[in-house]
Structure 1
Amino acid sequence: MSLKPVEAETTQRQKWKRSFDFLFSMIGVVVGLGNLWRFPYLCFENGGGAFLIPYTLSVVFIVIPVTIFETSFGQYCQQGLSKSWNRIPLFKGVGLAGMVTVFHSTVCYIIILVWVTRYLVSSCENPLPWTSCNNTWNTKNCVEFSHFNLTVRNQTYQNGAFQNASARKSSAEEFWRNEVLQSSNGIENPGSLRTDLALYLLVLWVAIYFCTFKGIKWSSKVVYVTATLPVILIVVIVIHTSTLDGASDGIYFYLVPDMTKLAKPEVWLNAATQAVFSVGSGRGVMIVMSSFNKYDHNFFRFVLNACF
């Protein structure tokens, strides 16, 4: 196998205009829904602050080495995912598998973005539609979201049976199931087309097309928004939720470490899975991003910045 640079073979390939374009593209991959939603849930379920120990170790010993390899490999090959792995004939299937993985994850994420868009539009209403039981989609078992926990506890205590309380549904859950999804009672009853969700899906696919059809010429501008906006939203949400009643209790249960959880293998597995999932290690995304670097670009510090 020849180890000579391949830059001369791909002189027409676009390059990042600024080194920070590559950095923000990496941050845009790392800072996403996986960190906004999935990480807090896993941290709460797997020992609070104790979960940060296996997570940090997974980042140091798994994510960073794999990301360094993918970034250096993509920068060396100066080609796309499948063509990069073609340079090692034995591993051609790795590139094809990466393309299939990216395709499936994109199809999955676009649906989640449709739901996010639906909630974003609904959040402009006053009052918020998921806070009350006075809507057409609510049932007789609906309990207003702000009183749901108290109602369930009282119902359980009065009747002495948990199954009686389980029939109660919060207004937020009914909004999700009965209005957003309009879920049916089984696969044999598919229901009707959700025209609003289909419209949001179309709009998002069109937006993605316009972000990518010019290559990194346009993508390099978009990543400055997609990389910074989630960080800004995280800061705003943290500040706002910290001022709510009971915020100190939530922070306590979220961060106070339960070291006994570290004895469970599934906690370590969840930490490693989340670390790999959040950075996208193994999917080939970093190979593609780094292939637009100059051949002698110093990427090492950017990898460390993005992973941490």
Structure 2
Amino acid sequence: MSDTKNDNTHTWDSSFSFLMAMIGAAVGLGNIWRFSYVLYSNGGGAFLIPYFFAIFIMGIPFLILEYGLGFKFKNSLSNILRDLKPKFEVVGWFTAFLIFLVLTYYVVIMGWDVIYLILSFFKGWGSNPDLFYTTNIVVGGNNLDSILTPVIPTLIATIAIWIFLWYISHKALDKGIARVVKVMIPLLFIMMAIIVFYSFTLPGHGIGLEALFKPDWNALTDVNIWLAAFGQIIFSLSMGQAIAVTYASYLPSDSKLIDNVLIVVSSNSGFELFTALGVFNILGFMSLASGLPINEIATSGSGLLFVVFPEIFNVMGEVAYIIAPIFFIYVFFAGVTSALAFMEPMSLALSKKFGFSRVRAVTILCIVGAILSLVYTTGSGNYILTLADSFINQFGVLLAVVLQSLIFGWYYGVEKLLPTLNKTSHVHVGKTWVAVIKYILPLVISVMWILGMIELLTTESSTDLLVQIAISILFLIPIVLAIIPSRREA
């Protein structure tokens, strides 16, 4: 007997909750530490042309597909694919497991942020944030020599965040995720506004803005710039990661699907662009204060959050004791709303196939996730994290998007979704949208996947035992989950 009987925990209490959750899934750490640098390093203002082109030709069409699938079938991606053809089920598990693996190291980065949030009240990173980061947070070198040496502050923070995520996720949607996102997302935008508006008062902010938006029109002839734009949209909107399918499956029957897509995409892009203003305003201030050019300060990844920004806070004076905590709380909220989304595809898949209650599914995932996260809390954690992130993004995510485009575009026949999509939406889609899903998306993303694989296979780390083990696990677990007989009720 399924223990999901009479368990009505998979329904949003309102479309507003869904919107906040989807915006929260899209707005994450990548918006803060990745987009501004991608914009800056790929032609500046000129990059906005391929960026918006990618949104309209790929981001919006694929999200519409995912919303339609989730809303129509009210099921997990793996079950949708299994009902379509049993052999396709493994693609659904592969996708959900992939994003769950991202969560296992995403939580660790959130743990770093919690540490810095505490430190921000007294600038506990000291006068040399780079040294503090490398000796207290990212301990060890680019090898596995320190894999058995735990970094205690990171370990404690990581376990605490897993407990926090479990506390939210194990509850019914309207009492857990919905309540959290309806509070965190508005606060996130308010805190972002405070930081950005303050950044415009800083001397030197114009230096940052000029560096960020100064267009390099020649960049538009470089195919890599266009690929960077498409890559940014894929990861920024969490395309093809089963999140949108999962969240849309919880929607009430009168939801305006296409309208919701447009709201989520515009909110995410507005957030990215607005955040980029704040980031480069502050980098311009740092450039003026230090005498260093922007290109020697601007960076992407954890170094921006945990080295560059603490260095900036050190030269801000007393106001940093207000701005720094707001900044790290802002990062934490962005992390939480995305982390909740990363867990949901696997949670729903387990519930739908094996009859697990929401409490049971989330508890299992949090225990397994916390155990897997332990490897990232060691002295070799950052090295392993870098490898895992590169492998999952360049190999896994793009492959999942390609497979879903082909399966739903050609085998299922995406035209079948048109009545569902257009029924209650003010904006309608038709033959153009179908053509994009069937022809343009598979072609563009296949090219990106092939180029990513070439880069992955030509790096020295591609032969590491660690990478080989990761590839084996990435395929073995989804295959096992697909083979196990279903316990869902008829």
TM-score normalised to structure 2 length? 0.50
Q: Does 1:21 align with 2:21?
A: no
Question: Offset at 1:122?
Answer: 0.8
Query: What is the distance in 1 between the residues matched to 2:64 and 2:247?
Result: 12
Question: Offset at 1:243?
Answer: 1.9
Answer whether contact 1:64 1:303 (CA < 8 A) is retained: yes
Q: Does 1:122 align with 2:108?
A: no
What corresponds to 1:194 in structure 2? Answer: 151
Q: Which of 102, 106, 115 matches 2:103?
A: 106
Q: Which of 57, 60, 67 matches 1:61?
A: 57
What corresponds to 1:152 in structure 2? Answer: none
Answer whether contact 1:279 1:307 (CA < 8 A) is retained: yes
**Aligned-residue CA RMSD (Å):** 2.1
Query: What is the distance in 2 between the residues matched to 1:222 and 1:47?
Result: 37
Question: Offset at 1:185?
Answer: 7.1
What corresponds to 1:52 in structure 2? Answer: 48
Query: Which ranges in structure 1 are unaligned for 5 or more consecutive residues?
Result: 1-8, 133-170
Question: Which residue identity does 1:83 align to in structure 2?
Answer: N
What corresponds to 1:286 in structure 2? Answer: 244
Deviations 1:18-46 (A, max 9, x none): 11111111111111111111100101111
Q: Which of 179, 190, 200 matches 1:242?
A: 200
Answer whether contact 1:78 1:295 (CA < 8 A) is retained: no
Q: Does 1:209 align with 2:205?
A: no
What corresponds to 2:211 in structure 1? Answer: 253
Answer whether contact 1:31 1:231 (CA < 8 A) is retained: no
Change (3 A) 1:252 1:292: same
Query: What is the distance in 1 between the residues matched to 2:155 and 2:185?
Result: 26
Q: Which of 102, 114, 137 matches 1:180?
A: 137
Change (3 A) 1:85 1:229: farther
Query: What is the distance in 2 between the residues matched to 1:104 and 1:293?
Result: 26
Question: Offset at 1:231?
Answer: 2.1
Answer whether contact 1:10 1:78 (CA < 8 A) is retained: no
Query: What is the distance in 2 between the residues matched to 1:66 and 1:277?
Result: 13
Please list, as runs of the form range in 1=range in 2, the aligned pairs for 1:92-103 lying within 5 A after superposition.
Answer: 92-103=89-100
Deviations 1:118-175 (A, max 9, x none): 11111011xx24451xxxxxxxxxxxxxxxxxxxxxxxxxxxxxxxxxxxxxx22112
Change (3 A) 1:179 1:12: closer
Answer whether contact 1:71 1:286 (CA < 8 A) is retained: yes
Question: Offset at 1:297?
Answer: 2.2
Once the two structures are aligned, what percentage of the paired residues are identical? 29
Please list, as runs of the form range in 1=range in 2, the aligned pairs for 1:261-272 lying within 5 A after superposition.
Answer: 261-272=219-230
Deviations 1:70-129 (A, max 9, x none): 00100111112322222211532221121122111211211111111111111011xx24
Query: What is the distance in 1 between the residues matched to 2:148 and 2:57?
Result: 47
Query: What is the distance in 1 between the residues matched to 2:88 and 2:144?
Result: 40
- Please state whether the residue corresponding to 2:34 is helix, strand or coil: helix
Deviations 1:234-276 (A, max 9, x none): 2222122222221111111011211111121111111111111
Query: What is the distance in 1 between the residues matched to 2:253 and 2:73?
Result: 9
Change (3 A) 1:93 1:175: same
Answer whether contact 1:76 1:295 (CA < 8 A) is retained: no
- Please state whether the residue corresponding to 2:251 is helix, strand or coil: coil
Larger Rg: 1
What corresponds to 1:43 in structure 2? Answer: 39
Aligned length: 260
Question: Which residue identity does 1:112 align to in structure 2?
Answer: I
Query: What is the distance in 1 between the residues matched to 2:173 and 2:181?
Result: 10
Query: What is the distance in 2 between the residues matched to 1:300 and 1:185?
Result: 45
Query: What is the distance in 2 between the residues matched to 1:25 and 1:129?
Result: 33
- Please state whether the residue corresponding to 1:87 is helix, strand or coil: helix
Change (3 A) 1:289 1:230: same
What corresponds to 2:483 in structure 1? Answer: none
Change (3 A) 1:10 1:77: farther
Question: Which residue identity does 1:192 align to in structure 2?
Answer: T
Change (3 A) 1:10 1:177: same
Change (3 A) 1:191 1:284: closer
Query: What is the distance in 1 between the residues matched to 2:203 and 2:129?
Result: 19
- Please state whether the residue corresponding to 1:216 is helix, strand or coil: coil
Query: What is the distance in 2 between the residues matched to 1:11 and 1:300?
Result: 29
Query: Which ranges in structure 2 are unaligned for 5 or more consecutive residues?
Result: 267-490
Q: Does 1:220 align with 2:173?
A: no
Question: Which residue identity does 1:255 align to in structure 2?
Answer: F
Query: What is the distance in 2 between the residues matched to 1:210 and 1:287?
Result: 23
Q: Does 1:74 align with 2:70?
A: yes
Change (3 A) 1:10 1:23: farther
Change (3 A) 1:216 1:187: same
Q: Which of 275, 295, 299 matches 2:253?
A: 295
Question: Which residue identity does 1:304 align to in structure 2?
Answer: L
Answer whether contact 2:21 2:181 (CA < 8 A) is retained: yes
Specify which structure has the bigger relative contact order, considering alpha-carbon pairs within 8 angstroms and separated by 6 or more residues. 1
Question: Offset at 1:186?
Answer: 4.4
What corresponds to 1:153 in structure 2? Answer: none
